[in-house]
Every structure is written in C-alpha cells, then in structure tokens.
Structure 1
Amino acid sequence: MRVYLPCTLPTLASAVGAGGLGPAPLIGYAVTPALTEWYASGDTEELEYVALTEAARASLRLLAAERADGVEGAARRVVIAAEVPDGSVITAPGIEERATVRLVEAIALTKVAAVHIDDPGAIPDIEAAIDALPASDQGDDDARFAVDGAEAHELMWYATQEIPDLLSS
C-alpha cells in the first residue's frame, strides 16, 4: 500500500541518519475505504493526490510545531511516499480526515518510494500559512485564506537517491 507521511526537512534528515521513520505508531495518509466512498468518482491517481494533499496539510502543522519548539529549518512542506505492507496499516478511527491511517511498524528507508517537497519559491506562502494557523483554527477567514494559499503550491517529486541533495540545499 502506498502511504504518504507528513514530514519536515529536519525530520527527514533524522530519518536518513536513523535509516528509517519511527518509532511506530506513525500517522500517514492513504487511499482508504472512507476516502474511496467519499470520492467515488475519483480514480486511483486522484485518490492518491487527495491523500498526498492531506499529508501536506499535516506537514504544515509539523512545521508550525517545530517552530514553536525553536527548531530551525526552511519553511517547506515535505511528504514521504512509502510502500508498506497492508498488514502494517490500520485506519485511524475518530480522526476527521478520510485518508488518515496509523502505521503499526516503523518504516525503513528502503520502503521509501519518493519524497515530495515545496519548491523554494513557495517559502513565503508557507511562512504566511504557518503564522496564520492559530488564527485559522479560531475561525478567522483571512487567516484561513493564508493557510489555504499554501495548497496553491504543488509539491515537487524527488527520487530517493536525490534525498541527500535535498538535505544539503
């Protein structure tokens, strides 16, 4: 099963150093039965795009949490795409997003299929979205517009062998 895991550049660097993502449980996003039912007219590619988009939203929240903890890093959303056995994935009950899954095992870097990341040109909009998250969560429409503006940027695709270059830039 293809799973999309929200991440940040510092977390990606840690995963590379450790040889994988973990420990379990991990939260990811995938084409779930609930997502398929909700978006019945979508083909597999469209459904995977929805899961990727939800992981990118979660990455934005991870960036905000890292900032609050004083972690330095470029404001670029990162999503790791991994192929994991179906048995290591369970749907996450009680979570609002239809594509949310829980991984019950750590993920070795050998299972990573690709990394999706914002282009550096998106950084100003991602910074604005991070700053606007608290007000957006309180229902501020202008702040919500700023957060939604982050989604106007498509994540770029990188092969696993390009990860060291991503981390050094």
Structure 2
Amino acid sequence: MRVYLPCTLSALAELVAAGELGPAPLTGYAVTPALVEWYVSGDTEELEYVALTEAARASLRMLAAERAEEIKDIEDVKAAGRRVVIAAEVPDDMVKVGTDLEDRGRVRLLEPVPLAKFASVHVDDLDAVPDVAAAMAALPAADAGDDDARFVVDGAEDHELMWYATQEIPYLLT
C-alpha cells in the first residue's frame, strides 16, 4: 500500500541517520475505502493526491510545533518553512485503516518504516517558505474558526510539493 507520511526536514535528517521512520505507531495518509467512497469521481491518481495533500497539512502542524520549540540556527529557519511528505510502499498488514469520517484518508502504521520502503520525498520549494510561515502563524486562529486565518492556511496549499527520488535525500539535507 502506498502511504504518505508527514515529516519535516529536521525529522528527515534524524530518520536518515536512524535508517527508519519511527517509532510506531505512525500516522499516515492513504487511499482508503472511506476516501474512495467520499471522492466518488476520482481516479487513483487524484485520490493519491488527496492523501498527499492531507499529509502536507499534517506536516504544516509538525512545522508549527518545531517552530514553537525555538529555532536555534539560521539554517533551521530555512528548513522550518518547508513541508515534507514521504511516500512509502508498505505491506497492507502493516497499515491499520481507521473509520474516522473527518479524516477519511488517515491510517496508522503499526511498525517503523525503513528507508528501503521509501518511494519518494515531496518538499516545498524555497519560494513557498513565506506562505508556509504565514500559514504556521495563522494555525491557532484558523483552528478557532477564523475564516481569514483559514484562507491564509489554505494559501500554503497553493504551492505544489516538489518530487524527489530517494537517492536525492542527502541533497535535500545539505
């Protein structure tokens, strides 16, 4: 099963050093039966894009949490404004599909994901950094129901994530 795992550049560096993404359980996004039922008109590619987008939203929240922990290095500022999503191919029995109607594509991975299972990495271009930073700042107000803040958060999604092959991961981290 193809799963999309939210991440950040700093977390990506840590998992490369560890050789796997973990510990389990991990939250990911995939084309689930509930997503297929909800998005009746889409083909597999469109549904995978929806799952990728959900993972990118989760990455934005991870970035906001990292930012709240205080950024110590100027390079971290550049990294902090970029969403990261890992696409991985994992066995079906490693994935638990939930029944949450709000997060139709959310899944739980029951084991850590080794680097060998990574299919690709998707990362914001540097041009997205200002909009992603604005979206991080607007998250609390958006969560409280502020429509203007939701518009700012949605603005980060105007930026397509760039696709990188797994062998390009070291270049992303330098």
Pairwise same-fold verdict (TM > 0.5): yes
Identity value in percent: 71
Distance 1:42 1:94 in 2: 20
- SS of corresponding position for 2:127: helix
Instruction: Measure, in 2, the Cα distance between the counterparts of 1:161 and 1:106.
Output: 20
Report Cα offsets for 1:112-135 as digits up to 9, x if no partner. Answer: 000000000000000000000001
Deviation larger for 69-78 or 32-41? 69-78
User: Residue 57 of structure 2 aligns with which residue?
Assistant: 57
Root-mean-square deviation (Å): 1.0
Q: Which runs of 5+ in 1 are unaligned?
A: none
Partners of 1:45 and 1:141 lie apart in 2 by 30
For residues 96 and 13 of structure 1, the distance between their equivalents in structure 2, rounded to whole angstroms, comes to 31
Structure 1 stretch displaced more, 85-94 or 137-146: 85-94
Q: Which residue of 2 aligns with 1:43?
A: 43
Maintained 8 Å contact 2:27/2:106:
yes
* 1:138 equivalenced with 2:138 (yes/no): no
Aligned residue identity for 2:90: V
Q: Is the 8 A contact 2:34 2:99 kept in 1?
A: no
CA contact (8 A) 2:96 2:108 kept: yes
What secondary structure is seen at the aligned counterpart in 2 of 1:151? helix
Q: Distance in 2 between matches of 1:118 and 1:148?
A: 14
Deviations along 1:83-128, one digit per CA (max 9) or x if unpaired, are: 0000000113447211000000100000000000000000000000
CA deviation map 1:15-37 (0-9, x unaligned): 00000100100000000000000
Q: Give the TM-score normalised by the residue count of structure 1.
A: 0.97
| 1:13 corresponding residue in structure 2 | 13
Amino acid at match of 1:116: H
